[in-house]
Amino acid sequence: MVNVYSKVLAVDANGGLLKLANVSGFGQYVGNRVMIIQMKGATIDETNTSSFGNISAINDAGNYEINTVCGFLSDTMVLVRKLNRTYNANGYVQIVIMPKLTNATVVDTVKAQPWDRTTGTGGVIALELSGTLTLNKPISATGIGFTGGECIKYLIPCASTNGDVGYYYPANPNAFANGGKKGEGVADYINLKDAARGKQANGGGGGNNHNAGGGGGSNYGAGGNGGEKTNGSCKSNTPGIGGATLSTYGYTLAQNKAFMGGGGGSGHDNDGYGMSGGNGGGIVYIAANEINGAAALATDNKIMASGVTGNRFITAAGNWYDYSWSDGAGGGGAGGTVLLNVNNFTGSIIAVEAKGGKGCNSEGVGNAQCSGPGGGGGGGAIWLKNASLPATVTTTTTAGANGIIAFSALACNGSANGATSGTNGNTLFNFVLPPIMDSTLKCSSILPSTTIITLSGTRQINDYVLKAQLIDNSNVQQCILQKSNDNISFTDIDVRNNNNLFQYDYLDAVTLRKTVYYRAKLIKTTSQVVYSNIVKFTDSTSDKIVLKLYPNPIVIDGTLEIFSPTKTSANILIYDSKGALLYNQKINLVIGANKTNLFLLNYMSGHYVIKVVTSNEVAIKRFLKLPVL
């Protein structure tokens, strides 16, 4: 993962100030470039009609710009310049910190943290280079955008002969009138209106009771509608509606927005075999003088931000199903957005993709059902700085196809039952980055003199890792790390002379079950002394051995994590349910976390007990072994 993320809790555009949810360890990023981007915030129609989910105002959703980190005031990031655009922190604003690069070679697939609505972060890959980016492996934001609607097993299977007709219902498994959960989009979920067939802006609607398919997500291209359920006494002619196109909301230089692909809506599920909607593609932003396609395989010479097909459960062969069984199927996720602020493309053909995901098929092998397939995801957007497509670049923004009824024993087999594909996205040209705000307001006028040095810290297994970051390294004589147990009396524990850099790195051993404080003391050649902020760690670890085992239940193998408050030796013992000893291994424990793998492929299915025995205590953990299918 090349980027670092944090949710923005408050924005002062005029001051260039961003209050962050997490600044731990961020002192090292002073001087880095950063993308500010708002992921959501659109206003949608909330009426219980076919207009539900239509966008009435895009607001600040999709706004983004690039700035530079100047420093920090406690939990507030100070930028070098004012912000040029407006942002609403209630619309999921995040910062994406970029690495400092001149030239770089991709040696393993570059991925981003997937979008996480809970933390309000992820879904974006952002890179800036003054030189050349060489591709030996791909850059992929595929399937990390807005999430597909989660499959919910409803406990009330059939409300009426032709199904429920509402455009919204609560995503509550106990609800009488119900439908699959809507896919996520640029408008956030509305309480008690997060399920059923109405679209969620560019998120696909969920298939209604009984067993209708979900709609596909959208971006530049609209999402396709889900399919109907047409046999039996319980039917549904109210499938999920495809997400609304965003093509008129952000893809001109005057608008200049960037959107993730919308998630597909879930199919309706009452048997436990329905399909979630597919995730949309994320956002890729690359600024470079040149991108060189140097990979040996064409499949590695790619930049991708495509949507994906939903999946549900794993087969005995280790594969994911992409079709439902006697329940509604999910819609495909929409393609995301790729912004290429690049002068030249050289080397082999570079394939840039922002494709929509296919809608899921419905019906498992041998079922006599005609449940609704999923709609296809819409295509995304690819926006290049060039005036036309370079000879060494291909772009693909095709929509995802709709699912079909597969393997049914009835005449509906092979049909779409009304499900439709999404519509294609688009390749755009003459991209220009949103302008920066020219201002006489400099960050040095905001930051007090004490913030010439900031200290950040993170906890590793057995060490505290501390970084002292300087904004100004001139006239520095020494940087000293100090430690305190009471936040009053500090003792020097490490002294560093001027290294002509802007960062000083320190390690200090974890002190178990104690609170410690650190600060950095800067001594300048002018005899001036400046102190950093204080970093506090509280270790409340138990003074007993603590066991964690994952996964549990275990199918083939697992990992046993032993936290030890002391350095000691121990025996790991495994007993079956009858008390027979099956495993005995002696290990040496260090203070902190210790991990060991347990290979249990040949163990019979059933219940087992793990004991970790030292000279002073015994720790016990129970687990269940499942058969290998």
User: Is 441 a residue whose pLDDT tops 90?
Assistant: no
Q: What CATH number is given to the structural domain containing 575? A: 2.60.40.2550
DSSP, residue by residue, 202-235: TBPPPPBTTTPPPPPP-SSSPPPP---B-SSSS-
User: Is 322 a residue whose pLDDT tops 80?
Assistant: no
Same domain, 59 and 179: no
Report whether 190 contacts 264 (CB < 8 A): no
Q: What is the mean pLDDT of residues 579-601?
A: 89
CB neighbourhood size of 137 (10 A): 17
Report whether 212 contacts 226 (CB < 8 A): yes
Report yes or no on 595 lying in a domain: yes
Report how far apart, in Å, the C-alpha atoms of 244 and of each of 141, 202, 204, 359, 552 are: 22, 5, 8, 16, 41
Report how far apart, in Å, the C-alpha atoms of 80 and of each of 86, 290, 435, 459 are: 17, 26, 14, 29
DSSP, residue by residue, 119-132: TTB--EEEEEBSSE
User: Is 560 a residue whose pLDDT tops 70?
Assistant: yes
Same domain, 326 and 413: yes
pLDDT: which is higher, 352 or 595: 352
Q: Which of 111-115, 468-472, 588-592 has the lowest mean pLDDT?
A: 468-472
User: Is 628 a residue whose pLDDT tops 80?
Assistant: no
Same domain, 534 and 552: no
Report yes or no on 415 lying in a domain: yes
Q: What CATH number is given to the structural domain containing 519? A: 2.60.40.10
Under the banding of pLDDT at 50, 70 and 90, the label for residue 160 is: low
Instruction: List Cβ neighbours of 609 (8 Å cut-off, separation of 6 or more).
Output: 574, 575, 620, 621, 622
Token reading at 417: 């039952």
pLDDT: which is higher, 241 or 458: 241
User: Is 110 a residue whose pLDDT tops 80?
Assistant: yes
Token reading at 315: 């087969």
Residue among 184, 216, 171, 200 nearest 92 (CA): 184
Q: Which of 499, 522, 538 is the last residue of a domain?
A: 538
Same domain, 481 and 515: yes
User: Is 189 a residue whose pLDDT tops 80?
Assistant: yes
Instruction: List Cβ neighbours of 587 (8 Å cut-off, separation of 6 or more).
Output: 569, 570, 571, 572, 594, 596
Q: Where are the beta strands (DSSP E) in 532-580?
A: 535-538, 546-550, 557-564, 568-576
Q: Which residues pair with 127 in a beta bridge?
A: 286
Same domain, 165 and 232: yes
User: Is 450 a residue whose pLDDT tops 60?
Assistant: no
d(CA 174, CA 178): 9
Share of the chain above pLDDT 70, in %: 93
Check residue 545 and give its pLDDT: 85
Report yes or no on 552 lying in a domain: yes
User: Is 152 a residue whose pLDDT tops 90?
Assistant: yes
Q: Which of 176-185, 238-247, 295-304, 479-488 has the lowest mean pLDDT?
A: 479-488
Q: What is the mean pLDDT of residues 235-252?
A: 97
pLDDT (tens digit, 9 = 90+) per residue, 351-403? 999 999 999 999 877 778 999 999 999 999 999 999 999 999 999 999 999 99
Check residue 361 and give its pLDDT: 95
Counted domains in the chain: 4
Residue among 273, 314, 325 nearest 555 (CA): 314
Same domain, 109 and 138: no
Report yes or no on 441 lying in a domain: no
User: Is 85 a residue whose pLDDT tops 80?
Assistant: yes
Under the banding of pLDDT at 50, 70 and 90, the label for residue 448 is: low
Check residue 542 and give its pLDDT: 65
Q: What is the mean pLDDT of residues 61-73?
A: 91
Q: Is the dihedral of CA 574, 579, 582, 587 positive or negative?
A: positive
Judge if the upstream peptide bond of residue 551 is cis by omega within 30 degrees of 0.
Answer: yes
Q: Which of 538, 565, 597 is the last residue of a domain?
A: 538
pLDDT: which is higher, 616 or 202: 202
Check residue 601 and give its pLDDT: 86
Report yes or no on 442 lying in a domain: no
Q: Which of 479, 503, 538 is the last residue of a domain?
A: 538
Name the 3-class secondary structure at 299. Answer: helix
pLDDT: which is higher, 605 or 54: 54
Same domain, 174 and 50: no
Same domain, 140 and 88: no
Q: What CATH number is given to the structural domain containing 60? A: 2.40.10
Report whether 371 contacts 324 (CB < 8 A): yes
Report yes or no on 259 lying in a domain: yes
Check residue 162 and give its pLDDT: 76
d(CA 613, CA 326): 50
Under the banding of pLDDT at 50, 70 and 90, the label for residue 447 is: low
Same domain, 99 and 126: no
Same domain, 565 and 584: yes
The whole-model pTM stands at: 0.74
d(CA 525, CA 519): 20
Which residue is it, tokens 């992409």?
322
pLDDT: which is higher, 338 or 1: 338
Report whether 107 contacts 137 (CB < 8 A): yes
pLDDT (tens digit, 9 = 90+) per residue, 503-530? 888 999 877 767 899 999 888 887 777 7
User: Is 159 a residue whose pLDDT tops 70?
Assistant: no
Check residue 9 and give its pLDDT: 97
For residue 25, the enclosing domain spans 4-118
Check residue 451 and give its pLDDT: 55
Token reading at 155: 């406990």
Token reading at 180: 């699959």
Token reading at 622: 């129970």
DSSP 450: G
What average pLDDT does the structure give for the chain?
A: 91
Same domain, 379 and 237: yes
